[in-house]
Structure 1
């Protein structure tokens, strides 16, 4: 059982070993042919300064615009992972096609203030609203054509902002966004990755039971994070005895009680998606093992239909993984070895869909 414990929390916490692949042919190089502004703005509610990059075409004004919202864990404005810079690639492509893009360092990352791991989903929502207010006041931006593009966890934040700022958000794009409750997604993610790696089915099922018990503590115990952390440590110690070092148990319990993580475990996207009235594009890769496409796209579609959304599109893209790379297995340990940063097909679909709704 100890052999498979690395998968007990989720792929969010899997450490990917050092990699040597650094060839990233899609990474844009100067001259860019568009305007680049390094910007700062404030989350006035918390007094946090956020930093980012705004790009827009060199000629003209009143451009449609998008805000890029990153996935789980503190990430810089490029959403850099394993020498890939997917948000830079997305921003470059959209800007060359007439769409302004704001990408921002997550709070507590690079040039942005605050502390990511002490923050919850509502804090990330507030940061996105601050970015929205900044764009609304920019002279080059059409304030009536501002949308949100959220990847993974960002695909949960975008619908929340869209419902709370209905008049300000023109559309949202969900890239590997989830449609099922956080604990259910984490269990599905875990089993999907383990089965893909050839973990024996008995071990997969046993680990599902083990982790469900931990998530149930987070879901049902109305207490401060410190108290929940103590209960989780007791739970894992009882389950695994001396098979796992005490320090590792403490680290996992601490990770699982970070505000953003526990908020995500409890979050049910269905309740929010039913309230989204703006146009929605939901894309996912058929090889996505972290947010499996069939279950999540079906749930997103069901929720949007239940809310009578009049303009939505859900689409599964063959062969793409969680990062929207063309992949063989979809396993996280493959991300670094793939030279492609973001599927050109996905970029074209996103661009065409946005242009159809803003031109």
Structure 2
């Protein structure tokens, strides 16, 4: 196995990453581009990608992951862009991996986790020759709906001691979403929060917000993955954790099923969905530090078939 520090250009930014090649890659191996989740995700996506990278290398896949714009060794600022900009970065990562000696250009796919799933789907839908796409813990709903679901779970499970407190905090969240839809500036959003008394429970959603992040969330909040799901022309494997507190899994399954049955969906755009009972947002069972082992086995088995 070889691990290399790499850089590639995407639009006006330079993205830094790591390229891992299995031994014997000169014979031609398939490849995977890993796309991290929300926030300042770097090439390891915290601790989620290293065991995945190791497993894929053992299965003789080349693996490329990279620091998001403005993170680690990458230039730019993800908060100044859109999900479409991040999808452009993912497409350029695919082109870069396809160009590497020993990698089969026709056998490179995208893997996106959480927000990275939305990004990977958008990138894959815009490529006519995508081999496949895998998403993990990717919501089938908009970011606004997903964040509200996550906030409600947080409020009910940790901080607040009355349904009234929960309802008031969720009402404030709804007002901030409407402010975003009307393109309110950050100062106006702060006035809304201050007028509501800055309920502590909102910190789950609001604590790290500044003007640049508020702008990114406004541009992102009503993203609908349906169009990208319909635009796929390659097989799609979706993993979901059955007890994921951040993603409305049942609603996501309904969206995936409805899209898969649409007549305009190309026949090569097959859909495989695996829900791991008891698993969380990172596909871990309770008390586990890494994803459920059957997830890795299912992933590489599906990849070999495609």
TM over 0.5: yes
Offset at 1:186?
1.2
Instruction: Quote the residue 1:340 is aligned against.
Output: 289
Aligned counterpart, 2:151: 190
Partner of 2:136: 175
Q: Show the counterpart of 1:6.
A: none
Aligned to 2:17, what secondary structure does the other structure show? strand
2:106 alignment partner in structure 1? 144
Which residue pairs with 1:155 in the alignment? 117
Aligned equivalent of 2:34? 68
Q: Which residue in the other structure is 1:105 paired with?
A: 67
- Aligned to 1:128, the other structure's residue is in SS state helix
CA RMSD of aligned residues (A): 2.3
Of 96, 103, 106, which residue of structure 2 is paired with 1:134? 96
- CA deviations over 1:223-251 (Å, ceiling 9, x no partner): 4xxx521221222222227999xxx9896
Is the aligned partner of 1:296 residue 2:252? yes
For residue 193 of structure 1, report the CA deviation from its aligned partner: 2.5
Are 2:223 and 1:267 aligned? yes
DSSP 3-state at the match of 1:266: coil
Q: Which sections of structure 2, spanning at least 5 residues, go unmatched?
A: none
Secondary structure of 1:129's partner?
helix
Aligned to 2:166: 204
Q: Where do residues 276-291 of structure 1 align in structure 2 (5 Å cutoff)?
A: 276-291=232-247
Segments of 5+ residues of structure 1 without an aligned counterpart are: 1-33, 328-337
Structure 2 CA distance for aligned equivalents of residues 249 and 353 of structure 1:
39
Q: Once the 2 structures are TM-superposed, how far is the Cα of residue 102 of structure 1 from its aligned partner?
A: 0.6
User: Aligned residue for 1:352?
Assistant: 301
User: Aligned pairs, how many?
Assistant: 298
Is 1:216–2:183 an aligned residue pair?
no
**Structure 1 position 57 matched with structure 2 position 22:** yes
Measure, in 2, the Cα distance between the counterparts of 1:96 and 1:143. Answer: 20
Question: Residues 107, 63 of structure 1: CA spacing in aligned structure 2 closer, same or farther, 3 A cutoff?
Answer: same
Contact 2:126 2:231 in 1 (8 A): no
Tell me the CA shift for residue 132 of structure 1. Answer: 1.1
Report how far residue 272 of structure 1 moved: 1.8
Contact kept, 8 Å, 1:286 with 1:292, in 2: the verdict is no
Does the CA-based 8 Å contact 1:285-1:322 persist in structure 2?
yes
Alpha-carbon distance in 1 for matches of 2:206, 2:73? 32
Q: How far apart are the structure 2 equivalents of 1:69 and 1:243? A: 32
Q: How far is 1:50 from its partner?
A: 1.3
Whether the aligned pair in 1 keeps the contact of 2:42 and 2:66 (CA below 8 Å) is yes
Q: Give the TM-score of the pair, scaled to structure 2.
A: 0.89
Whole-angstrom CA distance in 1 between matches of 2:206 and 2:277: 38
Alignment of 1:121 with 2:83, yes or no, is: yes
Render the CA deviation track for 1:6-51: whole Å, top value 9, x for unaligned: xxxxxxxxxxxxxxxxxxxxxxxxxxxx2222211111x21x2211
1:91 equivalent in alignment to 2:53: yes
Are residues 98 and 205 of structure 1, via their aligned partners in 2, closer, same or farther at CA, if it must alter by over 3 Å?
same
Deviation digits for residues 127-156 of structure 1, max 9, x if unmatched? Answer: 111111111211211111111110000010
Measure, in 1, the Cα distance between the counterparts of 2:209 and 2:64. 34
